[in-house]
Copies of this chain bind each other. A is one copy, B any other.
Amino acid sequence: MRIPLDRQSSIPLYEQIETYLRQGILSGSLAADTRLPASRQLARDLGVNRITVENAYAGLETEGLIYSRMGSGTYVLPPNPILTISKDGPGAPWPLWQQSVEFQDRTIKNQPLDAMFKKPLKHSPPISFDSGIGDAHLFPAEDFRKVLQTVMRRDGIAALDYGEPNGHGPLRETIVHILASQGLQTRSENVLITAGSQQALSLISQLLLKPGDVILVESPTYSGALDLFRSLNFKVVGIPVDGQGMQVEMLEKLLQQHHPKLIYTIPNFHNPTGTCLSSPRRHQLIILADRYNIPILEDDFVGDLRYEGRTQPALKALDPGGRVIYINTFSKILMPGLRVGFLVAEGPVYDCLVNFKRVNDLATSTLVQRALEAYVTVGRYQAHLRRSCQIFRKRRDAMLSAIQRYLPAEVRLDPPQGGLFIWLQLPEKLSSEKLLPLAWEEGVVFAPGNGFFPDGLGGKNWLRLNFVAQAPDQIDEGIKRLGKAIKRLTAAQ
C-alpha cells in the first residue's frame, strides 16, 4: 500500500498514516471488509518502524473504523453514517489552467431533457422516439453469448491480445464480403476496424483538418458529428438539404468561398431527414470534389436499410481512386454496445489512419472483434438485414398512419424509403424545443431540430422521430401523446 508520508512534517508518522486511512474509510473509498496490509508488511513498504503502523491501526480500531481478527488480519468496518465526511471536492479553487474559458467552450451543453428529469411524470418511462439506434430487443444477445463462449474456448489467451493494428484480419475479410454482397467492392487491406463509426469520424477529421479549418456538412446533419467537429474547433459550414439530399448545385460556390478541407456527407437515408442523394447529384459531388481536390467522407450508417424503391450506389462505389473515405458500423443494425465500426480508404491516407488509430488507442478489443467475426457471416448479415427491413417497414408505416391520425393536418414530412428517422415539420409558429417539455409531461420524447443544424438554430419548428426503436402499439400511443402535447402548445400560443 502506497501512503503519502511527509518525513519533514511535525506531525508524527503514525498520525499521518492514521489520518490517511481514516479519510479513506470515512469517504467510502476504502470499502468495508477491505483487508489492510499486515503491520509488518506496511512498515516495510513505507520504510517505518512496525510500532508506528501498529499505533496507527490501534487508533483506527478504537475509533471503530477497523477491526483485527486473530491470525487473519485487519479489516475495514462499514463506515458509521454519523462520522461519514462530505464527498464534496476541495474548498480551494481549481488551478488557473482549469479555469480557462476554453473548457467552458469545449463542454457541449446538455440536451434540455436533463433539466426535466426532475419533473413528476404521468407516464414513466416516456416512450422514446429520440434515440439514434435500432430496437435493442432485436439484438441477438443470446446467439452472441454462445459465440463469445466458442471464441474464448477456441482462442483462449489469443482472444485477449492486442491483435493487428488495422483490426482482426478475418473480420476485415468478412466486412469485404458483406460490402460486396451489398454492392461495394473493396479489399481487406483497405479496411480499418474502429471503435464504432464515431471513432472513424474522429480519426479521419483530425487527420485531415487542423483547428480553425473548415469542414463542409449537410445542414441539417448528424448531431454527434457536429459535437465532435465543434470540440475539435473546426469551422463548420452547412449546405442545405432538400428531398434529393445535399443541394450539390450550391457546392461549388461554397468550395470557392470557404476552401474546406473535407466534405462530410450522409448520402443514404440521411440523418436526420431520411432523404437519399439523387444519382445525378452523386456524380456531380464526386466531380466537384475531384476538381477542387477535396476528400469526401461518406457516412453510410444505414445505407442498407431500404424498405422500398430503387437502391442508390454508395459514393465509394462510384469513386475510382481514393477520393471517398467510407465509414460504416455494426452498431445500428446489430449491437451498439460492441462499439465496432470500420472505415474503407485507399492510398497514403489509409496508412496514416491505421497509425493514427494505433497511437490513439492501440487497438479495439480483439475479443469483441473475434466474437463478431464468428457471429457475422454474409448469409447471417443478409438474413438479419431482411428481417430488420420487414420489421422496420411495418413500424415506419405505423408511425406514418399514427401521424395522420393524431397530429394536426399542418405538420409536413417526406415519407422515408428506409433508415431510422422521420423528419417532421411543425406549423411555422411552433417551436420543437418548447414542445419537448410538454411532450415529456405527456410521456413521449423526440429529438428537437435545432441540434442538427451547424448554427444550432435552423430547425426551430422541426423534430426527428426514430420509428424503429418502438413496437407499433407503442408508436401509436407515443404519437397520440405527441398530438396532445402539440394541442397544448398551440393553445398556449
Interface set of A (CB-CB < 8 Å, partner B): 1-7, 20, 23-24, 27, 29-31, 34-35, 44-47, 87, 89-90, 92-99, 103-104, 106-108, 133, 136-137, 139, 141-142, 144-145, 148-149, 152-153, 156-157, 159-163, 176-177, 179-187, 194-196, 198-199, 202, 207-208, 210-211, 224, 227-228, 231, 279, 283, 290, 293-295, 303-304, 306, 310-314, 317-318, 320-323, 335-339, 346-349, 351-352, 355-356, 358-368, 378-379, 382
Please, which residues of chain B bring their CB within 8 A of the CB of A141?
A: 152, 156-157, 159-160
Between-chain CB contacts (< 8 Å), 6 pairs: A29-B179, A92-B321, A95-B347, A195-B364, A198-B359, A338-B365
Quick check: B2 and A359 within 8 Å, CB to CB?
Answer: no
Please tell me which one of the listed residues B157, B198, B348, B359 contacts residue A362 in the complex, with CB atoms under 8 A apart: B198
> Which residues from B are CB-within-8-Å of A98?
295, 322, 347-349
Among the listed B224, B322, B365, B378, which residue makes an inter-chain contact with A337, where contact means beta carbons less than 8 Å apart?
B365
Residues of B within 8 A of A294 (CB): 97
Query: In the complex, are the beta carbons of B152 and A317 less than 8 A apart?
Result: no
Q: Pick from A92, A98, A335, A347 the residue with the most CB of B within 10 Å.
A: A98
Which B residue's beta carbon lies closest to that of A93? Answer: B321
Copies in the complex: 2
Contact of A185 among B23, B45, B90, B144 (CB under 8 A): B23
CB distance from A104 to the nearest CB of B (A): 8
- Closest Cβ–Cβ distance, residue A188 to chain B (whole Å): 9
Q: Which of B23, B163, B202 contacts A360 (CB 8 A)?
A: B202
> Are the C-beta atoms of B349 and A313 separated by less than 8 Å?
no
Name the B residues within 8 Å of A96 (CB-CB).
293
Which residues of B are found within 8 Å of A185, using beta-carbon distances?
20, 23-24, 27, 29-30
Further 9 A-B residue pairs, CB within 8 A, beyond A141-B160, A224-B359, A231-B355: A2-B182, A34-B378, A45-B306, A45-B310, A95-B321, A106-B356, A162-B336, A195-B361, A228-B360
Most central of A1, A34, A359 by chain B CB within 10 Å = A359
Whether the Cβ atoms of A176 and B29 lie closer than 8 Å is yes
Q: Are A293 and B336 interface neighbours, CB within 8 A?
A: no
Q: Which residues from B are CB-within-8-Å of A1?
A: 181-183, 311
Q: Are A160 and B144 in contact (CB under 8 A)?
A: yes
Which residues from B are CB-within-8-Å of A23?
185
The answer for the CA separation of A202 and B356 in the assembled complex, in Å, is: 10
State whether A160 touches B336 (Cβ < 8 A).
yes
CB < 8 Å: which of B94, B160, B346 contacts A139? B160
| Contact among B179, B202, B295, B352 for A106, CB-based, below 8 A | B352
Closest B residue to A173 using CB positions: B31
